[in-house]
Amino acid sequence: MRTLKDVKVGETVTVAKFNGTGQTKRRIMDMGITKGTKVYVRKVAPLGDPIELTVRGYELSIRKDEAEAVEVE
């Protein structure tokens, strides 16, 4: 399965599951990225970190290592 880190700019994906543990998983869920949520990738910084997303109508930036913990379909 691919992760949120692998999604290209302009794509919309659905969150399938989390691979992160403990604090990382909790932080991602607190930001509104939960299973079944639609996520639109708005921008990726020139060096690839951070990634800007639109989730539930608001804009959010996350790091590549956090995006790797989110599997999408």
Looking up residue 63, the CATH number of its domain turns out to be: 2.30.30.90
Do 38 and 12 touch, CB atoms closer than 8 A?
yes
The pTM of this model reads: 0.85
Domains: count for the chain:
1
Give tens-digit pLDDT for 34-69.
Answer: 899 999 999 999 887 899 999 999 999 999 988 888
Q: What is the dihedral of CA 39, 20, 66, 41, to 10 degrees?
A: -10
Range of the structural domain that residue 45 is part of: 2-72
